Structure 1
Amino acid sequence: MSVPQSSRVSGDGVFDLTRTAVVVTDRAGVTQGWTEGAERLLGYRVSEAVGRPLADLFTGVDPSSAPDSEWRTRLASADGWSGLEAVRHKDGHRLDLELRILPVQDTEHGSARLLLAAEMTQTPWSGASRSFLEGILGMSPIGVGMVNADLRFVWLNDALERMGGTSREARLGRRLGDVQPGLAVKAIEAEMRRVLRTGLPSVGYEYLGRPQSDPQREHAYSTSFFRLEDSAGQVLGVCYMVLDVTESYRSRQRMALLNRAGERIGSSLDVWRTAQELADAAVPDLADFVTVDLLDALLSGEQPAAGPVEASALFAMRRAGQQSVREGCPEAVVAVGERASYPPSAPVVLSLTEGNSTLLQTLDLDDGDWAAEDPVHAAQLRALGFHSLMVVPLRARGVFLGAAAFARWQHTGPFQPDDLVLAEEFGTRAAMAIDNARRYTREHTTALTLQHSLLPRDLPDQCAVEAAYRYLPADSLSGVGGDWFDVIPLSGARVALVVGDVVGHGVHAAATMGRLRAAVQALADLPLSPEEVLAHLDDMVNRVADDAQTGTADTAGNGVVGATCLYAVYDPVACSCTLARAGHPAPLLVSPTGAAELLELPTGPPLGLGGMPFESAELHLPEGSLLALYTNGLLMGKALDLDGGIARLRSALADPQAPLESLCDTVVDGLPGARPVDDVALLLARTRALPHTQLATWEIPADPSAVGEARRAAAARLAEWDLEELGFSTELIVSELVTNAIRHATGPISLRMIRARALICEVSDTGSTAPHLRHARTTDEGGRGLFLIARVAQRWGTRHTSQGKIIWAELPLRPAPLDAPANDFTTLAADLGTPPAFTTADDQ
């Protein structure tokens, strides 16, 4: 029997590694098969060896040793023979061999013998008390077997007999499926037939199965097959070698499962999702049913207490995740989100509080410790079909967070200690991810609450524009940003529109946003142009940066030192808008006819860079124009497609006359993704124009006698507007403002009254000095005019223009009654404890 070149075992085979010769002979000792190993060992080619007696090939060093009769005796032994022999190589050098002769049953070709020979100096067992062949065939963990062309066993070694749990007598003459139905028989026999058909060996073929020696556990095997042929090339069968690699296979499976779990658990900063990821990762590879229960304090955002947890707290946990191999989790007694009175008994609960895992196996055994202590609960678990249970605490940074239970009901065998180690690793990873999610959720909630408290809850009443807004916080991974917006009523019925974005995310970004918004509101009340407002904001951001750099070790580096801002002022009287920006995206203007364009504004540097001046641009906006102010989160999605964002905004605002709330919804609905990657602030403003019927203007000559005429003109206009009840206060304000302008200013003087949401009185002149409140002495004859104005006006102030200044005062359209009645200037002055600032003569 020979092995052709195409089917000889490679150098990785067991026999070639030990330089073992395999020879097949008949009972008379005539060689029938000669392998490549025999050729390498003794030097005879297949053509030289087949057909010759063994005595000719294994010529002894001593001519009298091993005569033909001795070989016949060895071959005739029913139990085989083993021993040591010194023979001559074909070239004459000496070989010390270990020999083993084994009987082979082959019903088709008669009785045969298998001779195995190995050189002692080439084996690791040379010099051992037992022969090499006894070790390889009797003690080796590698199972070796031979099947004929019908795949029926003709020979096997002791290791294969032990490995399969079936005796040699029960195997010989039968096929693998007859003696090992728990293996993947069809796949194994298909591989054997492939080797028989092609002659190509199969090395490292792996399969799973439950052998008769251990039917409760699934084993993994690595097998190599090679074809055997006789000297005529006739296929005799297949020799295969099997190695049980269950432990290494399980180790690889556990490592692969841990890798997959590491990829799946903790993919988000959400506590509920992380708990569900733990359950999903463990089913079905580790368990058939998994539940994850977390403390109520954890799910409500509170900080769980460190150290051992009282047993009562474990009965107040909530189901955060569960998974089963059965569709719909029919084993679950509660749904996700419901309170879960923890099912395991007291011993398990105590072990959880101490931070130890508990392994409960084969609950159907009544004499088990846990089942004996809690037979009622054991019966409940049996009713659900479970036969093995593990309970693993979830702890992170010394804090108990909850527990995960792993159960099996399928015939995969009970949990093993290695499974518990794997479950604990799952629990450790999930606990860290859950704690990180809890910490992030708490900070995110704090920042979001702070941000919402700093943003406007509603837009103020004003008559310059119709406004609507939307604010969307970023997704949980990006964190809360520092975007803000504002609508600030100004003097003269004007309004300021503001949108800004602070660099960074988190609590510090939100806090810096609040500081900037407060600063903008304070600066808006000052007589400053938009570019001057941005310059003051730039100085403030620089001071914030300096404070952050000089802070303590705990706070240094946390300050946010950059921001962008767009500041616009719209005047409904002139229908003009003055805009300036600091590194902010340009606004989109949609005309009343629907034409949309990005406004070409001077580009200023972001706030905090310093050293660069800001510029403003003034535009005429017809009534009904739509102005869209926004932060870059509206345009820059995950794809960072700026052009695409502009196109989406243009499309959403295609109908500028639609209700602003509907337009806001359309813009937001068109954002890509479920949640924006950065905060989104959108402010839409549709311009209004003040009707001429609500405006009155007079030119005032620089003559004291014009004061009375101004009062009479103002009173007449109040009568036209049906505001006679404001006559006293209005005449006082007009008298004082016009008198001051005549006395202290130069150039043309004009008086303007605006009926908007308040009555506005304005006196303009070409002077640059602004009036200030001062404390007049009792002997002073003047200096109390502004006190009178502040007494009756809702607001008053000064703003500068390119031609000079404007002093203004606002009166509510329905004034509140005074504490004391005041019917004329003298009475009001007496109430204030001051002499009148002027007389009421018509010529004054």
Structure 2
Amino acid sequence: MPGEGPFMLVAQDGRVIQWSAAAEETLGWTAQEAVGRHIGELVARAVDDEGGWTSAVLEALSACSPMIFHVLDADLRVLRLGGVSVEGPACPVSVTGGMFPEVYGLAALAEEKVARGVLRTGEPVVDHVVRARLPGDPRARHYSLSYIRVDNLHDGMQGLVVLALDVTDRVRAVQRLTVLEAVRDSVGEQLDVIAVCRALTDAVVPGFCGVTVVEVIDGVVRGEDPPLAPVDGDVQLLRAAFRGVVSAHPVGEVSRLPDATPFSRVLTDLRPRLVPVTPDALWLSADPARAAAIAQSDAHSLIVAPLALRGQAMGMVSFYRRGSEEPFEERDLDLTADVCAHAALSIDNARRFARERTIAATLKRRLLPQRPAATSTVDIARLHLPGPGAGGAWFDVIELSGARTALVLGDVAGRGVATATVMGQLRTVIHSLAALDLPPDELMARLSDTATRLAGERAALPAGDSLHAEPLTAGCLIAVYDAVDQHCTIVRAGLSDPYVVYPDGRAALVPVPEGPVLAGPCHAPFPATTVELPEGTTLALNNEDLLIPTTGQVGALLVAGAEDSLDEVCDTVAYALRDRDESEKLLLLARVKALPADRVMIVTLPTRNEAAPLARAATRRQLAAWNIPEEGAFTAELVVSELVGNAVRYGAPPLQLRLVLDRHLTCEVHDAAQCAPHLKHARTVDEDGRGLFIIASLADNWGTRYGPDGKTVWAQLSASPPS
């Protein structure tokens, strides 16, 4: 006690932090001289000042210090010993006369080098931490050694004062804190369950243990909800990660846990367990493979801890110490609980992301066309590399009237369910607008209007909604190929230029003026470009600048595969891009064909009443040449008659009839008027107004297409020549 003799306080690093008046009176040093000094300096000074061992001083210092004092001669032999009681395991017994490094079982050469360096230079070494195992102590301990030179030990001979402080608890506490910080720094940055488990094993081996096994309930990896404890014995666990010497089961194996083992018990009550590993342990017989691996790895101590959150079990972690590693202590259970709690939260985040990713991917698969639409004038193939998660890239192939085909490729920024939903909305709008037969630039403008409205709805969400801070942007490219005229009209919003490979081997980017991104702040127009595409030309659309000439790789592959099937070309490109999966990539290839000239009939008609009979006669002759069955020919004549009659009555010259035979028979009448025809449901007593109603009743599809020189009213019939 402070009032019962010389009193001082010594910090764990050996520095004096308090020096009483009694200590000053007894030991002869003022508080100003003592405070802040290392206790070893005071011991050395006591020895040096008196020319030998000053019992009163050393006893006083020993009574107030948790250290063991050693006085060594120049040969590093122990002359005197003092300090904490020699009855404890932290203090060596009967060491006088022995070599100091040998007393503590230290690495003799390394420790002798430190001691002789102090003897040579006089510079003290303070808080030199070593690991040692003293005789009679079953566990190794950590000691903080401080060396101070004494210049007048006996008759002017040099020596050393060495202070040893048992800092085992401090070192192990620091080790535990280091492990916990490593786990918190590295575990949780990943949004993949397996990656989280691997990061956990890397963070704890070898700093905390020699072997770690992470096993996760199989459904959790796929994003399913974890079961509540106690977990049913039939639940399958996936060995998600392992780091150590010998593994009982390969990583990736799915199996059921044997009953009556610490592992099955942990998933019953979610309580961590410290389990001594002995050859006669009953639980080892329940899992022979695990028992064999434990024996081969020389494991002797085990902690099994659950991966659990809110009473739900996601798996467990097994920590093993082996060989010369210290057995686990009860206090290690607290560390494993903290480590596994952090890992469980990270796994749950990854599981939720996996579930959302699965939902988004499923939603996207349902929204996208399973196979490109087949047309007789365009061969289609597509390459889709999803990348991590479900993105917003999509494509469409839409058959239009008059042997025309619309190719659409788009990309919504972002990932997840919300992105896939927007992608589906825009794709639906494209199909609806395509049915109106709008020009590509107008089609893109209306699509952008829809995207802007969707972006406004997102911006109006409450501030707490995660989507509120994510602006909606998207890119799109629309190309309409006309197999009769062999030209293609292209308009783009944000995406890169398309790429063409001609039949003669020439290849180039098509310079299409870039319009603003969909739902972007700019409301500039979307200018269209029309290019000639000879038969056999391959048109490539992409969302990731894969065809920029400076990269060259994909474009060169398209040129090299000009005579291969498009599916083979996609495979070749996929092989070349196998290491570039950091983002979603979509490549749409279209190889065009011309509609044979004998499948098109064009007739210029007068604007008088004789136009309808002339049109019917020309239609009859052409359908006979095409071997259209009589029933189909009669329907086509009637539809042509009504189309021409409507144009004569409401249109403007010149009038032109065009028949196109592809997979369907398309009847078109063009006039110079811009007014839209109106479908009326005529009453029984009405003498007119039935034309378009009849056309709508007889045709599979019909519509109006506008151009700079007027409009074209068309009707599509299923009539086709017999096979």
| Separation in structure 1 between the aligned mates of residue 323 and residue 28 of structure 2, nearest angstrom | 59
Q: Structure 1 549/251 Cα, relative in aligned 2: closer, same or farther at 3 Å?
A: same
How many Å apart are 1:188 and its aligned residue? 0.8
Q: Determine whether 1:356 maps to 2:271.
A: yes
Q: Determine whether 1:270 maps to 2:192.
A: yes
Contact 1:279/1:321, CA 8 A, preserved across alignment: no
Q: Structure 1 177/781 Cα, relative in aligned 2: closer, same or farther at 3 Å?
A: same
| Separation in structure 1 between the aligned mates of residue 284 and residue 473 of structure 2, nearest angstrom | 66
| Separation in structure 2 between the aligned mates of residue 720 and residue 379 of structure 1, nearest angstrom | 83
Contact 2:661/2:720, CA 8 A, preserved across alignment: no
Give the aligned residue type for 1:459.
P
| Separation in structure 2 between the aligned mates of residue 341 and residue 136 of structure 1, nearest angstrom | 59
How many Å apart are 1:405 and its aligned residue? 2.5
| Separation in structure 2 between the aligned mates of residue 338 and residue 575 of structure 1, nearest angstrom | 57
How many Å apart are 1:147 and its aligned residue? 2.9
Bigger CA drift: 248-257 or 171-180?
171-180
Q: Structure 1 351/522 Cα, relative in aligned 2: closer, same or farther at 3 Å?
A: closer
RMSD over aligned Cα, in angstroms?
3.8
Q: Determine whether 1:561 maps to 2:472.
A: yes
Contact 2:484/2:595, CA 8 A, preserved across alignment: yes
Q: Determine whether 1:337 maps to 2:265.
A: no
After superposition, the C-alpha distances for 1:768-799 in whole angstroms (9 at most, x for unaligned) are: 23333322222334433334433443222211
Corresponding residue number in structure 1 for 2:93: 167
Give the aligned residue type for 1:452.
R
Secondary structure at the residue paired with 1:460? coil
1:386-785 to structure 2, matched below 5 A, reads 386-475=299-388, 479-550=389-460, 557=467, 561-592=472-503, 593-607=505-519, 609=521, 611-632=523-544, 634=545, 647-655=552-560, 657-658=562-563, 659-671=565-577, 673-677=579-583, 679-725=584-630, 726-785=632-691
| Separation in structure 1 between the aligned mates of residue 345 and residue 155 of structure 2, nearest angstrom | 65
| Separation in structure 2 between the aligned mates of residue 304 and residue 516 of structure 1, nearest angstrom | 36
Give the aligned residue type for 2:242.
Q
Contact 1:143/1:163, CA 8 A, preserved across alignment: no
Contact 2:603/2:657, CA 8 A, preserved across alignment: yes
1:54-203 to structure 2, matched below 5 A, reads 114-116=52-54, 132-137=57-62, 140-159=65-84, 165-168=91-94, 171-176=95-100, 178-181=102-105, 183-203=106-126
| Separation in structure 2 between the aligned mates of residue 151 and residue 198 of structure 1, nearest angstrom | 16
Corresponding residue number in structure 1 for 2:239: 320
Corresponding residue number in structure 1 for 2:32: none
Contact 1:530/1:569, CA 8 A, preserved across alignment: yes
How many Å apart are 1:813 and its aligned residue? 4.6
Give the aligned residue type for 1:246.
T
Corresponding residue number in structure 2 for 1:60: none
Secondary structure at the residue paired with 2:595? coil
Contact 2:301/2:328, CA 8 A, preserved across alignment: yes
| Separation in structure 1 between the aligned mates of residue 308 and residue 69 of structure 2, nearest angstrom | 49
How many Å apart are 1:503 and its aligned residue? 3.0
| Separation in structure 1 between the aligned mates of residue 437 and residue 43 of structure 2, nearest angstrom | 111
1:171-320 to structure 2, matched below 5 A, reads 171-176=95-100, 178-181=102-105, 183-214=106-137, 216-229=138-151, 236-306=158-228, 308-310=229-231, 313-320=232-239
After superposition, the C-alpha distances for 1:589-645 in whole angstroms (9 at most, x for unaligned) are: 34443231241414335335464333322223333333222224x55xxxxxx9687
Q: Structure 1 594/689 Cα, relative in aligned 2: closer, same or farther at 3 Å?
A: same
Corresponding residue number in structure 1 for 2:4: none
Q: Structure 1 186/579 Cα, relative in aligned 2: closer, same or farther at 3 Å?
A: same
| Separation in structure 1 between the aligned mates of residue 475 and residue 44 of structure 2, nearest angstrom | 91
Contact 2:153/2:159, CA 8 A, preserved across alignment: no
| Separation in structure 1 between the aligned mates of residue 179 and residue 13 of structure 2, nearest angstrom | 31
Identity value in percent: 35
After superposition, the C-alpha distances for 1:690-714 in whole angstroms (9 at most, x for unaligned) are: 2222222111223433433433333
Secondary structure at the residue paired with 2:667? strand
Q: Structure 1 524/344 Cα, relative in aligned 2: closer, same or farther at 3 Å?
A: same
Secondary structure at the residue paired with 2:341? helix
Bigger CA drift: 251-260 or 732-741?
732-741
TM-score by length of 2: 0.84
Q: Structure 1 302/557 Cα, relative in aligned 2: closer, same or farther at 3 Å?
A: closer
How many Å apart are 1:427 and its aligned residue? 0.8
Contact 1:358/1:391, CA 8 A, preserved across alignment: yes
How many Å apart are 1:580 and its aligned residue? 2.0
Give aligned pairs, total. Answer: 686
Contact 1:293/1:318, CA 8 A, preserved across alignment: yes
Secondary structure at the residue paired with 2:659? strand
After superposition, the C-alpha distances for 1:457-492 in whole angstroms (9 at most, x for unaligned) are: 1111223432221222231xxx42222111111111
| Separation in structure 2 between the aligned mates of residue 260 and residue 100 of structure 1, nearest angstrom | 40
Secondary structure at the residue paired with 2:560? coil
Q: Structure 1 509/406 Cα, relative in aligned 2: closer, same or farther at 3 Å?
A: same
Bigger CA drift: 515-524 or 413-422?
413-422
Contact 2:394/2:423, CA 8 A, preserved across alignment: yes
Secondary structure at the residue paired with 2:306? strand
Give the aligned residue type for 2:636.
T
Contact 1:580/1:615, CA 8 A, preserved across alignment: yes
Contact 1:586/1:599, CA 8 A, preserved across alignment: yes
Gaps of 5+ in 2: 1-11, 30-41
Q: Structure 1 773/249 Cα, relative in aligned 2: closer, same or farther at 3 Å?
A: same
Contact 2:629/2:721, CA 8 A, preserved across alignment: no
| Separation in structure 2 between the aligned mates of residue 669 and residue 303 of structure 1, nearest angstrom | 36
Contact 1:356/1:393, CA 8 A, preserved across alignment: yes
How many Å apart are 1:526 and its aligned residue? 0.8
> Over alpha carbons, which structure has the higher Rg?
1
Secondary structure at the residue paired with 1:774? coil
TM-score by length of 1: 0.73
Corresponding residue number in structure 2 for 1:824: none
| Separation in structure 1 between the aligned mates of residue 551 and residue 643 of structure 2, nearest angstrom | 49
| Separation in structure 2 between the aligned mates of residue 233 and residue 720 of structure 1, nearest angstrom | 132
| Separation in structure 2 between the aligned mates of residue 612 and residue 135 of structure 1, nearest angstrom | 90
Contact 1:488/1:496, CA 8 A, preserved across alignment: yes
How many Å apart are 1:198 and its aligned residue? 4.1
Gaps of 5+ in 1: 1-11, 21-40, 42-82, 88-98, 105-111, 118-130, 636-641, 817-844
Give the aligned residue type for 2:606.
P
Contact 2:271/2:306, CA 8 A, preserved across alignment: yes
How many Å apart are 1:211 and its aligned residue? 1.9
Secondary structure at the residue paired with 1:157? strand
How many Å apart are 1:657 and its aligned residue? 1.5
Contact 1:334/1:340, CA 8 A, preserved across alignment: no
Contact 1:363/1:378, CA 8 A, preserved across alignment: no
Q: Structure 1 454/393 Cα, relative in aligned 2: closer, same or farther at 3 Å?
A: same
